[in-house]
Structures are given as C-alpha cells and as structure tokens.
Amino acid sequence: MDQFISLVLVSGKAGLDMALYILLPMMVIMLAIMKLLDAKGVLSWLCDKIAPVTRLFGIPGLGVFAALKITFVSFAAPIATLSLMDKNGTNERHLAATIAMVLAMSQANAAFPLAAVGLNVGILIATSFVGGLAAAAVTYYLFTKSWDSREVTDEDNTAPAHYEGKKSVLQILSDGGQEGMRLALGMIPMLIIAIFFVNLLKTLHVIDYLAPLLAPALSLINLPEASVLPLITKFIAGGTAYVGITIDLVKQGAISVTELNRMAGFATNPLDIAGIAIFAAAGTRINKVMRVAIYGGLIGMLLRGVLHLIIF
C-alpha cells in the first residue's frame, strides 16, 4: 500500500509540474494568438484560399480549419469542427479523409512543449502537413473510392467565421488565454492517470521485459532503448503523457535532441487509443468512418516517420 501511495504522489507531482510549467504557458499563448486570428477573420480567409487546393486531396474548407486547429491549438481543438461536419451532412468520403488527415498530423499540445527541449517545430509542422495530405488522399482515393462521390457543398467548403463584436484586442487575447488555461487544466487528470499507469508498468517491470524485445527494431532506425518507454506511453495513454515522459528523459540525457526529432515523426499525433476514442465520440457518422480513417492516418504517420528519419 505504501508503494501504491508513493506512485500516486510521484505521478501527481509530475503531472502537475508538466501541466503548470510547460503546458499551461504554451497553451495560453497559442490559444490567445489563434483566438485573435480567428476573430479578425484571418483563419476563415486562409481556409477559403487553401480550400481549392486541399479539395484535390479530398479535404473541404472545414477540413483546413481542423488542420489549423490541431497544428496550433491542441489535439482536442478540431473536435468541434469535425462535429459540425458530421451534423451538416458533409460527404462521408470527405469526412473520412479529413479525420485521417487530423489523425496523422502533429498536435500542438505535444509539439510546442517539446520545443522547449529541442524539438524542431518548423520541420515538424512541414512534415505534419505532408503526412496529413497523404493520409487524406489515400483515404479519399483508395479506401473510400466506392463510396458516394457527391460534390462538396458551399457549407462543406467554408470555415466558420467567429465575430467578437466590439471586443478590443486585449479582450480577445484574454479570452483566448483563458480558453488555453481551461484546456491545460483539463488535461491534468488524464495526464496524472497516464503517468501513474506508466509508472505502474515500470514498477511491475513490464517495460523492462518489453525494452529488450523492441530494442533491435528501434536500433535499425537509430533510436535508443530508452525510447521504448515514451513510445509505449504515447500509443497507450496519448500525446500529453508522451510529452511528460519524453521531456523527463531528454533532461536526464537518456534521449538526445536528435533522437527526439527522429522519434517525433511517429509520436506527435493523436493516432493512439485515447485520441481515437475521443474523436470517435464526436459524432455518429464520424464513428462510422473511423476505421478507414485510421488506415489512412497510419499511412500518413508512417510517411512522417520516414521523413524524420531521413531529415535527422
């Protein structure tokens, strides 16, 4: 019992430190900036301009908005957009392609905190869009080619505009910052639970058994045995827990900055058990197309991973 309580307390402290000193400031700043850009119509304008190109990959305008949200806000930010697409009758081929894209792309709540320990965010975002477009295209043109091919509507192609009335720039920034704070604080329970689960696996020596088994495969792509823990954490508990474990390993010197960047292509995305469950719950039609979207997302993730191995 004493060991259990000790694990709880250690996990709680690690989760709070991560949330309050890394996630919170990053999310507050990024949400404030995105809120301002959204209020001024910059995001809607950008989506309208990009949509004619992204439609070639099976992504409507709302899909562009979802891509911007996951890249610059958090993995949970596109959920409202996907829910809107689910409810407004967006073609299921386009819906599946958009979800596949989101699953393959880099999530801001993992990318920006890791930038503090050496992650190259510029390259990460570039490979994120490449992988996302590939995931969408293969889903649209291969996995769903026999589905209804109705043309997208104006409603599908237009990003939602948000008007802030007569609010000042400072008020808009404050609103965005408060939203970022709510998101960061909302991650604390899951973060603590995930870290506790990982610490429990370490205490039970599960990681000790898995590490030697996976080490030969990881060595082929120049990743150390220490990367087994964060990778297992990511695909079981999600990106937030992955960030906490990875930052700790980088600070300890167990993972180098180069290894961090090599690993990022495979790990900074919402394609994990937690992420899939959250997205699937966003709508009935989303749940219906989730299986093929996962296939597309996996292809996009693998492409991103290969690109990072080549670049770094």
Average pLDDT of the segment spanning 142-162:
65
Evaluate if residue 156 carries a pLDDT over 70: no
Alpha-carbon torsion 130, 131, 137, 138, what sign? positive
Q: How far apart are CA 287 and CA 98, in angstroms?
A: 13
Q: How far apart are CA 108 and CA 101, in angstroms?
A: 15
pLDDT band at 152 (very low <50, low <70, confident <90, very high): very low
DSSP state of 141: I
Residue 154 pLDDT? 45
Evaluate if residue 94 carries a pLDDT over 90: yes
Alpha helices for the chain (secondary structure H): 2-18, 24-39, 42-54, 61-72, 79-87, 92-104, 108-115, 121-138, 154-157, 169-186, 188-203, 206-219, 228-237, 239-252, 257-267, 273-280, 284-311
Of residues 238 and 307, more confidence is placed in 307
Residue 289 pLDDT? 94
Evaluate if residue 165 carries a pLDDT over 70: no
The length of the chain in residues reads 312
Least confident of 57-71, 146-160, 180-194: 146-160
Of residues 211 and 111, more confidence is placed in 111
Q: How far apart are CA 197 and CA 158, in angstroms?
A: 42
pLDDT band at 262 (very low <50, low <70, confident <90, very high): very high
Evaluate if residue 163 carries a pLDDT over 70: no
What average pLDDT does the chain have? 84
pLDDT band at 213 (very low <50, low <70, confident <90, very high): confident
Of residues 154 and 232, more confidence is placed in 232
Q: How far apart are CA 46 and CA 42, in angstroms?
A: 6
Of residues 209 and 18, more confidence is placed in 209
Per-residue pLDDT tens over the stretch 272-312: 887 887 788 777 888 899 999 999 999 999 999 999 999 99
Residue 187 pLDDT? 67
Q: How far apart are CA 257 and CA 184, in angstroms?
A: 25
pLDDT band at 12 (very low <50, low <70, confident <90, very high): confident
Of residues 196 and 100, more confidence is placed in 100
Alpha helices for 139-272 (secondary structure H): 154-157, 169-186, 188-203, 206-219, 228-237, 239-252, 257-267
Q: How far apart are CA 157 and CA 51, in angstroms?
A: 7
pLDDT band at 238 (very low <50, low <70, confident <90, very high): confident
Q: How far apart are CA 69 and CA 66, in angstroms?
A: 5
Evaluate if residue 97 carries a pLDDT over 50: yes
pLDDT band at 175 (very low <50, low <70, confident <90, very high): confident
